[in-house]
Structure 1
Amino acid sequence: MKIKELRDNAIQLLKDLIETPSFSSEEDKTALRIERWFQHYDMSYKRTVNNVWAVNKYFEEGKPTLLLNSHHDTVKPNNGYTKDPFKAIFEDEKLYGLGSNDAGGCLVSLMATFTYFYNKKDLAYNLVIVASAEEESSGANGLNSMLSVIPNIDVAIVGEPTLMHLAVAEKGLVVFDAKVKGTASHAAHPNTDNAIYNTIEVLQWFKDFKFEKTSKALGEVKMTVTQINAGQQHNAVPSEVDLVIDVRVNDCYSNKEIAEVLQKESLCDSIVPRSLRLNSSSISVEHPLVKAGIDLGRETYGSPTLSDQAVLTCPSLKLGPGDSTRSHTADEFIYLKEIEEGITIYIELLEKVL
């Protein structure tokens, strides 16, 4: 199969996806467009809710299975856009449009790569591709829902913009709701147990606290108080203050361990995690996929951003065209040369291990 044809068709697919709104849980129309790709190349596929997936033609039981995954949902456009977010605009070698960089370029590049290998026999790995939904919202009908549907996977490449460098680890996420309590009173009377004043010491604790273990790939656990709320009127001291704490977890800790530390050590009266399922992820630098990427001149690093890797339990590598710093920005774009390079590197990478 000619790579140039795959590249041209992948770019056209990306243009069509940009011009088809696909907010999380509303991806039905982009799923239909993705289905047409599989139909065009006469590849068997299935659809589960808005997830479109397929296995290679010569899938063999007993072989290890490699997942190729990226998502076709987007966030909503912000107010800073000067270009139509739902129009694929090509200017100065850039393709503009919502979802072009996060993660449309990755998705179409992986789809082209899967298509390239679909009919090949005697591969060392089975291939599964999932064009997944609800990644941006960590929704119930995203990749997490597919793990019991698709064949068991042994390793995964998750397509997110990394400039085609190898993100060998990714931070997990736990969001905590916490309370600092005090005594309610009228503002005109003395009160030595003002919940808002009590919060000063708590906030200082969160600012100063350091988790002991530092990751070589991901550095320290990063903990940030992101929201605070208390009181309803000027003359009443509230009985409690609500805090929200965002914790980005390195691969030295499980989310459960982070929760245990904070529930034991923090000065809050209560602190409760919203979810413990978005764990950190990693892959050994000795894994054949990583070694193959290094042989191709790609660098390794640890990623601070969350992706669908968080729902996987197998080793996973985050790798894709585009730049993470462009994600969720106004006038989002991807260079066409990045997509061309992405398809080439994906294919060269897999040829080394398949």
Structure 2
Amino acid sequence: MKKLKKIWPLILVVLGLSFFGLYKFLKTSVNPGLFDRNDRYIRVYNYKSEKIKPKRSKVKEINLEFIYDDKAAVPDGLTWSEDLRSDIGPYDGGDVILHAVLEDGSKIRISLQKAFRLGPTFSRDLDRNDELEEKMLPRFPKFSTEYNRNYSYAYFSGMMYVGDALYQAPKTEAVTRFDLKNPKTGKLQTYYEYGYLPEKTDSPVYLKTKKDVSQADMQSFYDDYHDSWKGYWDRGVDSIPKELTSTYPYQFHYYKWFYSDSLSNLPLKIDLTGSEFKTIVTRTQLIKPDQNDQMKVRTATKTYTEKNKGEYVQEVLGKLREFKDINDLARYEKEHK
């Protein structure tokens, strides 16, 4: 009995450690949700983090799209056709969008109003970049820059040639790749998250969300992978919080989960390696939204090459400020009529 009393504390310690080890094993390796009343945990497959290796690609096709407000004045002499669009909305008047086809056949779409720290975007280094401007201006010797430099991203995109290279200039260090299984299709879907390198872990990684989330809401998240024109899920505006269990509060990660490792996921710069001027300009005017969350528009296109480069300078490059003023005026008149 005396011996038992002596070893009893040791037995309690061993039992405590055993129960703690079992608890930790169940929580990290079997099902963390067993001990969490509020959250549910969804298995993550093929989790991998690594430092970013910046990519680059040459441009095969360039299309600059100018979005006009429904009340904005548009250029004369255009032939219009109507269409329905899901990638633009009623407040996009005044935006300029670069649509480009890369040498591998992939496509990118970049709004040229502002630059951000995560794509799709150009690098903020392009804003009033005198060095780049000095290199590009000889391509358009008759172009006056006096009134256009405030629109740097449209300005430099408008002076690109076919064959120019776009290359990534990341503002963060790491990319994490992981797969989730779509319950409806049973297939894995690959996501890309950018931020700092997470701490190494031997434990399985899970997608953590709220337990009371309906299956329909979660399915809409999975289905967006194929339905979205944006190519990413923005957790910053998601009413249903989602995060990986490998993400710690003090480790910074951007809110976007991209559906591919597209070149435009990270801020881009321009390398002037091209020699052919060919740009399609699309004028798109908003008409009205329809009942299916699409936008009814009318569009007109014109292709510019070396043969009509003078027209391009006069009609496009030289009228960036006028385009903005026209749309600002249209919005002002609608708000104050």
Greater relative contact order structure (CA < 8 Å, 6+ sep) = 2
Normalized against structure 1, the TM-score is what?
0.22
Q: Which has the larger radius of gyration?
A: 2
